[in-house]
């Protein structure tokens, strides 16, 4: 009950956030945070909780974006159909790719996921008849729901916020259900997990497919809020960025990915002023964060809190 009140309070605060001196640009940035938070939450399910690395999540982000954009433009469907198509397509794709890939572990799984990510990117670049090739898709319609057009930056912000809150509730319910403990069990001891009746392969694949569906939701929002997508934005660099968000926030912590998404988006935007030096400083900051907060912002905070206030015996 307490946690529901906290959730309501946080959502309330995010609703008034635009009125604390926001302009179209800051609203766009807040929207991006929401979009990346959704993707990072999904990635946290498979990477943080289940312990299976994915270096190819930008591919599912891309598939969600393209499917959604093409469903609305080429098929002339309403936005909600584009969003649903993105979710279904990325879930099925995640399931199909995850089934063979998740037989691998560690670095090998990393390589396999990079491989698939590159396949998707090359397909987007070269299958010009469908994807419009390297130039990408522009003039993607704004999100609309049942006749309501989200045609101002403020409305788009609220739209992203709404979807992000729904995504968070789904993610939170999963984590606190026995699926969440099952994911951690697979990560902690595969041997004991299978002796508890857990089908390792099925559990990992489920976590992976749910996680790719989250990337699909993020992709759909990205396409329709940004209104322009191109293959360039969905490479290995982006996959790593998504992973960085999860790690910086705190792998396997509930709100870690949200904090991580906010930090990464904020850093990337505010460092733009440094022009040529921006990636240099960004990289340096990431290194410092990893050295001084190795468990991520939320993970390290939790540890500190437990040491300071918690029972000594429970740590």
* 105 touches other proteins by CB under 8 A: no
Residue among 23 and 315 whose Cβ is closer to other proteins = 315
> DSSP character for 310?
S
Q: Which of 58, 193, 243, 267 binds other proteins (CB under 8 A)?
A: 193
* 215 touches other proteins by CB under 8 A: no
Q: Which of 188, 237, 266, 287 binds other proteins (CB under 8 A)?
A: 188
| 3-class DSSP state of 127 | coil
- CB 222 to other proteins: min, Å: 23
* 185 touches other proteins by CB under 8 A: yes
- CB 250 to other proteins: min, Å: 13
Residue among 57 and 187 whose Cβ is closer to other proteins = 187
* 199 touches other proteins by CB under 8 A: yes
Residue pair 272/288 in contact by the 8 Å Cβ criterion? no
Show contacts with other proteins in window 236-255 (CB under 8 A).
Answer: 252
Q: Which of 126, 135, 181, 270 binds other proteins (CB under 8 A)?
A: 181
- Structure-block tokens of residue 205: 């694949």
Residue among 124 and 298 whose Cβ is closer to other proteins = 298
User: Over the Cα atoms of the chain, what is R_g?
Assistant: 19
Q: Which of 7, 11, 165, 198 binds other proteins (CB under 8 A)?
A: 198
| 3-class DSSP state of 181 | helix
Of 88-96, 186-194, 231-239, 272-280: span binding other proteins (CB under 8 A) = 186-194
Question: What is the residue whose two structure tokens read 């991520």?
Answer: 296
Chain center to CA of 105: 22
Q: Which residues contact 131 (CB under 8 A, 6 or more apart)?
A: 66, 123, 124, 125, 137, 231
- CB 42 to other proteins: min, Å: 13
> DSSP character for 235?
S
Print burial letters for 244-271: b (CB count within 10 Å at least 16), e (below 16).
Answer: bbbbbbbbbbbbbbbbbbbbbbebbbeb
Of 12-20, 133-141, 195-203, 239-247: span binding other proteins (CB under 8 A) = 195-203
Show contacts with other proteins in window 139-178 (CB under 8 A).
Answer: 170, 173-174, 177-178
- CB 206 to other proteins: min, Å: 7
Cβ neighbours of 197 (radius 10 Å): 7
Residue among 4 and 20 whose Cβ is closer to other proteins = 4
# residues contacting other proteins (CB under 8 A) = 29
* 191 touches other proteins by CB under 8 A: yes
- Structure-block tokens of residue 230: 């191109």
Print burial letters for 181-190: b (CB count within 10 Å at least 16), e (below 16).
Answer: ebbbbbbeeb
CA-based nearest residue to 217, from 286, 171, 276: 171
Of 53-61, 149-157, 189-197, 255-263: span binding other proteins (CB under 8 A) = 189-197
Ordered DSSP codes for 35-76: HHHHHHHHHIIIIIIS----S-HHHHHHHHHHHHHHHHHTS-
Ordered DSSP codes for 245-264: HHHHH-TT-SSHHHHHHHHH
Q: Which of 121, 132, 156, 182 binds other proteins (CB under 8 A)?
A: 182
Q: Which of 6, 147, 197, 275 binds other proteins (CB under 8 A)?
A: 197
Residue among 30 and 171 whose Cβ is closer to other proteins = 171
Residues forming the site for other proteins (CB under 8 A): 170, 173-174, 177-179, 181-182, 184-185, 187-189, 191-200, 206, 210, 252, 313-315
């Amino acid at each position: 009950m307490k946690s529901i009140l906290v959730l309501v309070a946080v959502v309330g605060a995010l609703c008034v956030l635009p009125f604390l001196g926001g302009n179209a640009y800051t609203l766009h940035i807040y929207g991006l945070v929401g979009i990346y938070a959704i993707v990072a939450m999904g990635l946290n399910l498979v990477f943080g909780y289940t312990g299976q690395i994915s270096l190819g999540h930008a591919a599912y982000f891309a598939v969600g974006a393209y499917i959604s954009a093409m469903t609305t433009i080429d098929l002339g469907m309403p936005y909600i159909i584009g969003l649903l198509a993105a979710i279904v397509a990325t879930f099925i794709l995640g399931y199909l790719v995850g089934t063979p890939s998740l037989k691998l572990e560690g670095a090998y799984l990393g390589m396999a996921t990079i491989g698939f990510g590159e396949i998707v990117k090359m397909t987007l670049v070269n299958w010009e008849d469908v994807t419009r090739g390297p130039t990408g898709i522009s003039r993607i319609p704004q999100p609309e729901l049942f006749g309501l057009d989200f045609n101002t930056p403020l409305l788009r912000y609220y739209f992203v916020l709404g979807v992000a809150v729904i995504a968070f509730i789904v993610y939170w319910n999963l984590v606190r259900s026995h699926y969440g403990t099952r994911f951690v069990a697979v990560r902690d001891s595969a041997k004991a997990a299978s002796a508890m009746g857990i089908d390792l392969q099925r559990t990992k694949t489920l976590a992976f497919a749910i996680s790719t569906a989250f990337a699909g939701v993020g992709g759909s929002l990205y396409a329709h809020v940004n209104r322009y997508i191109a293959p360039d934005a969905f490479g290995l660099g982006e996959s790593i960025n998504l992973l960085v968000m999860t790690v910086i926030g705190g792998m396997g912590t509930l709100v870690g990915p949200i904090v991580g998404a906010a930090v990464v988006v904020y850093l990337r935007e505010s460092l733009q002023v440094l022009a040529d030096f921006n990636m240099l400083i960004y990289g340096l900051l990431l290194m410092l964060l990893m050295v001084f907060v190795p468990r991520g912002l939320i993970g390290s905070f939790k540890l500190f809190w437990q040491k300071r206030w918690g029972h000594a015996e429970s740590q």
